[in-house]
Chains A and B, each alone.
Chain A
Amino acid sequence: MTETTLSPETTAPAAIKGKSLYALDDLTRIRNAAEKRFRAYGMTAIGIGLFFLVVLAYSIISEGMPAFSRTVMKVEFTLTQEQYDAAEKELFKTKAYESIFISALKSQLDASGISVPFDKDAIGRLVGKPGGTIRSFYKENPDQLGKNVAFELAASSRVDGYINGRVTRENMTDSRFLQKSDLDIVDALVKAGIIVNVFNWDFITGADSGVDNPGGAGIGASVVGSFFMMLVVLFLSLPIGVAASIYLEEFAPQNKITDLIEVNISNLAAVPSIVFGILGLAVFIQFMHLPQSAPLVGGLVLTLMTLPTIIISTRASLKAVPPSIRDAALGIGASKMQAVFHHVLPLAMPGILTGTIIGLAQALGETAPLLLIGMVGFVARGYPDGIVQGFIDPNSAMPAQIYTWAARADFAFYEKAWGGIIVLLVFLLTMNILAIILRRRFERRW
């Protein structure tokens, strides 16, 4: 090293004549430039990292927000008992309702002073078959006959795409789903306040729909699946993790077996998550015959996966409790077990909980092992009937649901996938903020 830094120029500054001491010589300039360059590389690296973060956040938000709104057609009209009876007598009952709907739409348009020519087929392309919806509404609520009812009919997914900018006049082609001329009607209806964007509660509370109905897909059922899974993970990994850490940190003798356990834990922390999926498939489903696609099994697999993380963080917080606390407890006659459980553990609890929440957040976002045990998105067809069913009935989890949507061919599902990611990230953010608050409020420094 000395050979490179002590080059002749630097050892003999006197050789440079007629120059001020303050003027930098060539070598110093080169070295300073190198210094600046190096610094710039570092800043660029940080900049690139943060740039990716911003791009990621931007694409999640911009692509995901449309999933939270849906386009509906708001039409108000009154159906009298006579009209109802007349419609029920017709051969094509829904058609009769449809014409009532269209005349109501026409009068509402006229009232707002906008005129646009439209026919039955065009309306069919915009809102599907409104007749059926209206008929079933009055069948179920006959007391609403003769009263003014405001209907909110879901617009077709293409119209939804047009409103959200996914479909434009330039990129669309005429098809039986939507024609260019329909867009004029849509524009007029938007102007008249009949087609509006409303918050899509169905996305948050609904279950997965079939491949042909992207509009009706919701993430609610898989949120419930994730919730039951997290319950399993919490109630297994917290006690087991704490017990294992207490043993390793406070009681374990220095021997081969302890070493073996420690090596195992640090290795399991680095085993790919998909291997845990294989373990779950082979042990819990093939061998123990637990039900497939059940949140219980998912929870067990994720427990095994998060245990190393929880053990590592719990040991760190146990280690942070000063030995004087233990010594004081032992000094007044407590047994070692009492010293640990009555004094060390309560003091380490905030740190343990923080670590557990972070471990849970990690488990919540895990996808690959769940796919192997069958918790794919399309099994999340509805809410479980009860608490026990919540654990053992087939269900999906948020990330697996997002994967299923992303893997479908219909582009409209991509929007749902991004929207699902927003929901998932909201949960993760809440958990992490909770962990930070816990740490700030309760963590003690000795």
Chain B
Amino acid sequence: MPLFWLVLIVLALAAISYTVGRSRALASVGGQRSKLHSLPSYYGTNVAMKAAVPAFIILIIWLLAQPFYVNGVVSGMIPDSEIAEGSSRGLVLAEVHRAASGLDNAVAQGDMDEEFARNARADVADVTQRLKDAGQIVTSQITQPILRAAQEYRVLNSTGNLFMTIVVLTIAVIGALWGLKETTPEFRARNTVEQGVRALLVGAASIAILTTIGIVLSLVFNTYEFFRLYPALDFFTGTTWAPSFSERGGASELGILPLLWGTIYISVVALAVAVPIGLFAAVYLSEYASPRVRSIAKPLLEILAGIPTIVYGLFALLTVGPLLLSVFGDEGVGIMKAGTAVMTAGLVMGIMLIPFVSSLSDDIINAVPQAMRDGSYGLGATKSETVKQVILPAALPGIVGAILLAASRAIGETMIVVLGAGAAARLSLNPFEAMTTVTAKIVSQLTGDADFASPVALVAFALGMTLFIATLCLNFVALYIVRKYREQYD
């Protein structure tokens, strides 16, 4: 892999620059360190920084820009007549990429020589046949323009990579020379290096912003693409969820309402389990329990929060589901048909959320000033009266915040519902029926061989967008309330 080697060469250049810069600084004052402005290692680091940083920045920009340019040129080569009915330019381009990587692999395996792969006059049928012989997956409809475009794509990419190597290495060498030229006893090497380090720290901190931007952009673009293929109104008001994978999803009905209903129903069941148990546990741990009991019970409860959700998913599917079925199924009450149901997923999710609610509420209850408790005891109230009439009202905003955070956790939870809630999207009130959620459908629409141009796959991004906005709102409100509450007693 040439990119790997390029990075390694630049790093080696930087290492050499470090030693050269350091010895040059020492030599410039004849070995008398005290005459230098900074420690010698700072001079070395400065030179290494000048060599590596601009080179890497150019490298990254180049790597991001090259595909755009190449795709632009290649896409211009495909005439509109090549784009079949119901297809799009993007799909044809994907075809070109596949053909190009097929050619690459065939050359790498030695089934084809570079000359043949580049030969513009090659016969299409011949090339396709040889690609198939080489074991490369090529769809049947490689046409003349696609092959030409694929060949052009390869040529552009390889010249691009060559230029990139040359430019990056030149910049690294120029940077190193510039750094060496700066190395004089008066040069403030430490300040320069520290500025560089500071820029690095700022860069690391802004990755959080970049991540958010990345999430928003990837959701927005793909959701927009989806709404071009499928009317937004139908998506938000449809009451049937019936994706059809045939005919590129043309006959699908993709209404979000059954999924939203399943999500909300399961979350409500989960919160109905987690909130009372978690709240009582928190009150007991903070007001009643002796330090010994607290030091044992609290970590034990928090183990529940550290268990991966896949474990809860399996627990729902294989333990809780059959158990509920034996009680409410045909042999018992007779209202449950299969182990996977809203109740199964909700119950298990509730167990998962107990420590979440309890430790958040515990923090919040502990933040209520002791003076308020003492005042209540002084008036003759019992502990439970103090909790009910003084502490809980005072802690209420914080507890509401905690519950909202738990709710946001519940609607975003995936593995438990994928395994425990079933796959059928329906609008029903019976908690013992299988329903499905937004997250479960994102998984099922995007796993497997999804074709990113069909509404059946793209709908997952619209679902993701809905989920993201819903959790974002919940988090914002919850964090705002919790923060406001903390300030109140600080």
A positions within 8 Å CB-CB of B: 1-2, 4-5, 10, 31-32, 34-35, 37-39, 41-46, 48-50, 52-53, 55-56, 59-60, 63, 239-241, 243-244, 246-248, 251-252, 260-261, 264-268, 270-279, 281-283, 286-287, 289, 304, 307-308, 311, 335, 337, 361-362, 364-368, 371-372, 374, 376, 388, 399, 402-403, 406-407, 414, 417-418, 421, 424-425, 428, 432
Contact = CB atoms under 8 A, between A and B. Distances in A.
A9 to B, nearest CB: 12
Interface stretch (B166-174, B242-250, B280-288): B280-288
A243 B318 CA distance: 44
Given A31-B385, A406-B314, A414-B318, A41 B414 contact: no
Given A42-B283, A283-B214, A425 B311 contact: yes
B298 to A, nearest CB: 9
A347 B218 CA distance: 40
Interface stretch (B104-112, B192-200, B331-339): B192-200
Interface in B192-251: 194, 197-198, 200-209, 211-212, 214-215, 218-219, 221-222
Contacts of B460: 278
B412 to A, nearest CB: 3
A311 B201 CA distance: 13
Most buried by A among B203, B208, B418, B446: B208
Contacts of A311: 208
Contact of B207 (A59, A307, A337): A307
Given A35-B385, A53-B303, 8 more contacts: A50-B300, A56-B304, A63-B319, A273-B412, A273-B414, A362-B306, A418-B318, A428-B308
B201 A274 contact: no
Interface stretch (B115-123, B139-147, B253-261, B376-384): B376-384
A250 B60 CA distance: 29
B17 interface: no
- Residue among B97, B414, B476 with max Cβ neighbours from chain A (10 Å): B414
Contact of B200 (A37, A243, A252, A421): A243
Given A49-B355, A368-B415, A5 B201 contact: no
B439 A368 contact: yes
Nearest to A264: B208
- For chain B, the bracket of interface size reads 35 or more
A265 B439 contact: no
Contact of B318 (A52, A53, A63, A362): A63
B311 A49 contact: no
B408 A46 contact: no
Contact of B383 (A35, A399, A407): A35
27 contacts: A43-B284, A44-B280, A46-B297, A46-B301, A50-B297, A50-B300, A50-B301, A52-B304, A53-B303, A59-B318, A260-B209, A264-B209, A271-B471, A272-B411, A274-B414, A276-B215, A279-B215, A286-B218, A361-B306, A362-B306, A366-B308, A367-B309, A371-B443, A372-B443, A417-B314, A418-B314, A425-B307
A334 B116 CA distance: 64
B62 interface: no
B311 A60 contact: yes
A367 B208 contact: no
Chain A interface main SS type: helix
Contacts of A266: 475, 479
Given A272-B439, A279-B214, A56 B311 contact: yes
Nearest to B411: A272
A367 B414 contact: yes
Contacts of B204: 239-241, 243-244, 247
Interface string B38-55: 000000000000000000
A49 B222 contact: no
B83 interface: no
B485 interface: no
B284 A42 contact: yes
A278 B205 contact: no
Contacts of A272: 408-409, 411-414, 439, 467-468, 471
A248 B309 contact: no
Interface in B280-330: 280-281, 283-285, 288, 297, 300-301, 303-304, 306-311, 313-315, 317-319
Given A240-B204, A278-B461, A267 B476 contact: yes
A268 B314 contact: no
A279 B218 CA distance: 6
Nearest to B206: A261
A368 B443 contact: yes
Contact of A247 (B205, B221, B351): B205
Q: Which 10 A-B pairs have the closest CB atoms?
A: A272-B412, A365-B308, A42-B284, A282-B218, A45-B280, A243-B204, A38-B384, A247-B201, A368-B414, A244-B205
A35 B382 contact: yes
A108 to B, nearest CB: 39
B310 A399 contact: yes
Contacts of A406: 310, 313-314, 317-318, 419
A199 to B, nearest CB: 23
B310 A402 contact: yes
Interface string B372-406: 00000001111111011110000000000000010
A4 B205 contact: no
Given A60-B311, A403-B310, A425-B311, A275 B464 contact: yes
Contacts of B382: 31-32, 34-35
B190 interface: yes
Given A63-B318, A240-B207, A275 B284 contact: no
Contacts of B315: 56, 59-60
A281 B202 contact: no
